[in-house]
Chains A and B, each alone.
Chain A
């Protein structure tokens, strides 16, 4: 079965510092990986995805993620954090069975302090 692990409930970083939000996955078949961000009382916004090709994927708002097949990881990164990046981040992998739904991690809360 497909699964996603986000080992950190919360990540704290100072504004201007680089940030990393960790994600590891387990999937049968080719990994289609996604990152979404959720602001309070809002739905999820798509940040970026890895389907194939370059291991470094660039997405919205300056975020990027690195696909590492050997470590089965897809960590989200940003070179310089902003206070406005504070939100809940979800990693997801596509389940290739049935409707090919997304399987989500438990989410990581990012808190960027001024």
Chain B
């Protein structure tokens, strides 16, 4: 089945720990995005990538890092520098920048 797969669905992080969220797509899409959603809030852009080996910061990139070594994969690392990481993280991809984007099922990250 074609689609966007995020894993894990639920993730628990201890204080001071780095964690990596996985996002894989088999749609042959060029552009990929990471968003964060807090309860009752809209989606805020963390990072985005239009091509392999290139990515740009979004509005709330501090405390996060990404890589785009393969077209299919765009992992997000939540570092210990992110002081309030508890949120719903959504990965999306689109065929080209500026076209329709489709979402994975999301990862809920909780700090314990």
The answer to whether A and B belong to the same complex is: no
Interface residues of A (CB under 8 A from B): none
Interface residues of B (CB under 8 A from A): none
